[in-house]
Chains A and B, each alone.
Chain A
C-alpha cells in the first residue's frame, strides 16, 4: 500500500489515493410467469488517482497484485504528468475498521430459493388483483460492496456496504390499451428489508396503479397548481436544486445557484438537507468513496442557501473540508460530488387541508424520475400516478407525462408543506455517465404553479 502510493507520488504529485473495491451481487428476475434469470457476479479492482496542480490522473486495474497496482500507479502518475520529479515518502496509518453497518441478515447467507420465492409470491399476488392484469415482472437484487481507501495524507479506512432491492411491475390491459404500474423498495440493509416490506402488498399496489390508469384521461397541459404526495417530492428537490448545489458544477458556473450563498433561494418554509448518515436509507454509507465519513449537511435553511455539497478535490481548492459527498459508481470511475439522501423536513399543514385548499390542479401520488439542466435551472420530472384536483378534491386519474419547471422559480413557489414526511422510492442518480444509489423524501407539498405536460386543454 505504502509502496504503491509512493510510486504514485514519485513524479511530485500533490495527492495520491488508492480506492479498492470488492463487489458481489446477486439478482433474480421473474417475467411472464417464469423465473427467467438468476444471476451472480463478482467485480473487484482498484482505482488510483494522482493529483498534480489542477490535473488529475486516473488509472484502474482488476489486478490487485503488487505489480498490478504499481503499473496502475505509474499510469496514473504519468497521466497527471507534472515534471519536477523528486521522491515522496508516504506512510498510511493503521486501517480503521469498517463502521458498523446494521445488516441483520447478510443476503449472501440467504438460500437462493428463498429469494426466488419472493418473486413467485409477488407474481401471484399481482395477478390475483384481477384479469385485467396481463403481465407481471419482478426483480430481486442484493449487493455487497467492500471498499478501502488509502491516500497520501495518511488516510486508511474502509467500509462494508450492503444493499437489497425489490421491485414489481405490472401491465393492465383494457379497452383503452395498456397501462403500467410499478412499486419498489430498497434499503442499505440485508434481507431484513422484507421485515419492513411485504412483497405481496407491493405487488397489489403496483397492480392497482396499473388498473387505475386504465380509466385515466389525458393529462392537462399548461401551468397550474401541483400537489405532490408524501415521499414523491424528493425527486422534485433532487432536480430543482439538488444537482445545482453540487460544488463541481458550481465551480464551473454551470449552476444557477453559483454565487448565491447567504441569499434567499426558496420559500421560508423550505429547509433542505442532504444526509448520508440516515441508517438503512438507500443513499446511506459509512464513508464516501474518498474515505470521508458520511455527514448531515444543511443546504437550505428556512429558505436561505447555506452551503453546497463537496468532494475532496473541490473542497481542497477552497481550503475547506469535504462534506462527505465524494462518490463513484465503481473503482473504474473518478469520484465527484453526489447527493446521498436528500430531503425536506415536515411542515405543519394537514395534507388533506392542502388538497382541500386547492381549487383546481394536479395531485401527483408517484413520481418516476427526472432530469435537470443545472446551468439554466430547467428541470422535468415524470408522474407515474397522478390525479386531477377539482374543487379541492382528488378526482379522475390522468395519464403519464412530465412536468417542467425552473428550479429557482419553483423553490420560491412552494406555499404549503404537510406534516406527513415520508421517504420516496429508492433511486439511481445519473451524472456524467455514473449511477449511484440515492434516497429522497418530503412531506406533501404544493407548488403554486408548474407546467403540466399533457395533451388535454
Chain B
C-alpha cells in the first residue's frame, strides 16, 4: 500500500509543467474505536479514510487544495484547484517545496503486524477489561465515564517535483479511561492511559489504576488561599507545558516576530538543569517518525542545552528565509493542511531523583496533577501563563490535602528560569512530548 500511495503522489507530481513546483501528500488511515460502558459495548466505530493534499508553487506564489478521495478524477481536480489557487498568493522568493538534502532517514520500525492481525473481538475484550480494571482499582470508583480502546494503522507518502519521495507506515493503539470517584455528594474525575504500537504492549491494569488513583486522591479537595509556592508538575503536565515551549521555538514564530526567544540565541533562557531536545528519531517516542511532513529526514535538534538556547526549528520555507538548513521539523495535521513548523518529539534530559525524592525537599508546594485552559489562559507570544490546576498540597516534604479550583500563574520566560529540578521519571505519552516531573519555584497559586 505504501508503494502505491507513493505511486499516486509521484504521478500527481509528474503533472507539473515547466516552472511549476508540486508537492503531493497522500495518506491512508484505518481506525477502530471501541467504548465500553457498564459491561457492554457502547459504541464500535470502524473507519477508513484517505486523501490527498496538493501544494503548488508557481512564480513564488503558493496554492493548496485537498480532497478526501484518491480516484483519478479527484486527483486531477485537486491538482487543477491548487494550481488555480496559486494565482492568488503573494510572490515570496522563499516559497517552494522540499528538495533532498542528503540526510538519510533513521531506520525506524514503527509498524506492527500484530495490531493489523488483532481481531475485533479481542479489541472489544480489551475495552471491557479496561472498564472492569478501573472499577476494581478502588471501591470509591463509582463509575467509568468512558473506557476506550482505539487503534490506527497509518500509511503516508510525500513526493515533490524536486525529487523528494518518502513513505512511512506505522501502527499505534491506546487504552484510555475516565473514572468517577465519589464520596457522599462529591465526585472527582481522573484519567489513565496506556499506549503502544500493538495491543500486547497495553496494560488495562495500569490505565485503570491510574484513572482510579487520579480521581480518588482528589476526593475532599477544596480551594486554597492565594500564595506563592513551588509547584511540582506531574509528567503529563510537564509534557503539555513543553508543547507550548516548543511553539515559541518554531522558526516561523521567530521569523515573523512572534517568538519570545527570537533574539536570545546562545543566551541563558532556562535554568542550568534544563536540556531540551526535539528528536523524532527516538523509537520510544509515540510520535516518532523517520521523515517529516515534507518528506525530509527527521533529526535530533538540541534546542536548549544546560539552559542555553541553541537552536530553533525549521521547515524548508522558514529555513530558506532564515538562510539555514531545514531541521526536518515540518508538521501537518493530515492531508487537509499545508505543512508548518513544529516539534515532533520533545524530551527533557531527565535528572537523578524520583518525584517522591523531589517532593521530600519542598516545604511549601503544590503537586499539580492536572491543568485546564491551556488554550485560553496561555499566550505563547506575550508569555503570559495562567491555567486552572488541581493536585495535592506539599507540606514539609510530604503530599498533604487535595486542592482544586485554583489557578497557577507566571510567565513562560520565568517558568523556564525558575525550574529547580528535573525528575528521573521520563515517560513517553500520546503527544509530541515526553513527560517528566518538573519542580518550579515562585509560582502564584490563586484561590480564595
Contacts of B189 in A (CB 8 A): 254, 373, 375-376
| Interface membership of A228, Cβ < 8 A | no
Of A172-180, A282-290, A304-312, A344-352, the one with at least 4 CB within 8 A of chain B: A172-180
**Nearest CB of chain B from residue A45's CB, rounded to whole Å:** 7
Chain B residues within 8 Å of A53, by CB: 40
State A39–B62 Cα separation when bound (angstroms): 9
Is the CB of A54 closer than 8 A to any CB of chain B?
Answer: yes
Number of A positions contacting B (CB below 8 A): 80
A-B contact count (CB 8 A): 254
Q: Which residues of B contact A402 (CB under 8 A)?
A: 372-373, 376-377, 386-388, 407
CB under 8 Å from chain B, chain A span 227-286:
249, 252-254, 256
With beta carbons under 8 angstroms apart, the residue of A60, A62, A254, A370 that contacts B145 is A254
Residue of A nearest to B92 (CB): A34
Residues of B within 8 A of A56 (CB): 42-44
B14: chain A residues at CB < 8 Å are: none
Q: Which residues in A have their C-beta under 8 angstroms from that of B382?
A: 177-180, 213, 399-400
Is the CB of B193 closer than 8 A to any CB of chain A? no
Secondary structure dominating the interface of A? strand
Q: Which residues of B contact A404 (CB under 8 A)?
A: 373, 388, 405-407, 446
> Is there contact, CB below 8 Å, between B85 and A222?
no
**A454 CB to nearest chain B CB (Å):** 6
Q: How far is the CA of A269 from the CA of B36 in the complex (A)?
A: 41
Is A334 among interface residues, defined by CB-CB distance under 8 A?
Answer: yes
Contacts of A178 in B (CB 8 A): 257-258, 260, 381-382
Taking a contact as CB atoms under 8 Å apart, the answer to whether A173 and B257 are in contact is: yes
Q: Does B226 interact with chain A (Cβ within 8 Å)?
A: yes
Q: Is the CB of B49 within 8 A of A62?
A: yes
- Measured between C-beta atoms, what is the minimum distance from B145 to chain A in Å? 5
Interface status of A165 (Cβ within 8 A of chain B): no
* CB of B65 within 8 Å of the partner chain: yes
List A contacts of B406 (CB < 8 A).
404, 451
Interface pair B446/A452, CB less than 8 Å apart: yes
A253 touching B143, Cβ below 8 Å: yes
> A31 contacts the other chain (Cβ, under 8 Å)?
yes
With A252-B143, A332-B49 already in contact, the answer to whether A37 and B338 are too (CB < 8 A) is: yes
Binding stretch for chain B, among A92-100, A151-159, A377-385 = A377-385
Verify if A171 is at the interface (C-beta below 8 Å from B).
yes
A453 lies within 8 A of B409 (CB): yes
Q: Is the CB of B446 within 8 A of A454?
A: yes
B81 at the interface (CB under 8 A from A): yes
- CA A37 – CA B381 in complex, angstroms? 22
Residues of B within 8 A of A329 (CB): none
Contact B47 A38 (CB under 8 A): no
Return the chain A residue nearest B383 by Cβ. A177
Q: Is A103 part of the binding interface, using a Cβ–Cβ cutoff of 8 Å?
A: no
Contact of A38 among B78, B89, B379 (CB under 8 A): B89
Per the bound structure, the CA–CA distance linking A188 and B54 in Å amounts to 28
- Smallest CB separation, A152 vs chain B (Å): 18
Across the interface, which residues of A come within 8 angstroms of B408, CB to CB?
Answer: 453
Q: Which of A55, A223, A334, A375 interacts with B448 by CB under 8 Å?
A: A223
> What chain B residues lie within 8 Å of A44 (beta carbons)?
68-69
Contact A79 B44 (CB under 8 A): yes
Contacts of B447 in A (CB 8 A): 222-223, 451
- Inter-chain contact B338/A454, CB cutoff 8 Å: no
Complex alpha-carbon distance, A402 and B383, angstroms: 14
Judge whether A75 is part of the interface by a CB distance below 8 angstroms. Answer: yes
B256 to chain A: closest residue by CB: A32
A359 at the interface (CB under 8 A from B): no
CA–CA, A378 and B44, complex, Å = 30
Known: A252-B143, A252-B145, A376-B189. A61 touches B67 (CB 8 A): no
A452 to B445, alpha carbons, bound, how many Å? 10
CA separation between A75 and B47, bound complex, in Å?
9
Contact A453–B64 (Cβ < 8 Å)? no
Residues A406 and B381 in contact, CB atoms below 8 Å apart: no
In contact, B63 and A171 (Cβ under 8 angstroms): no
A58 is an interface residue with CB less than 8 A from chain B: yes
Binary CB contact string for chain A from 125 to 146 against chain B (1 if under 8 A, 0 otherwise):
0000000001100000000000
Nearest first, the 7 A-B pairs at minimum CB distance are: A453-B407, A382-B376, A402-B377, A401-B386, A380-B373, A221-B446, A34-B90
B binding-site residues for A, Cβ under 8 Å: 37-38, 40-51, 62-69, 74, 77-78, 81, 84-90, 92, 120, 142-143, 145, 178, 180, 187-189, 223, 226, 255-258, 260, 336, 338, 372-373, 375-377, 379, 381-384, 386-388, 390, 404-410, 444, 446-448
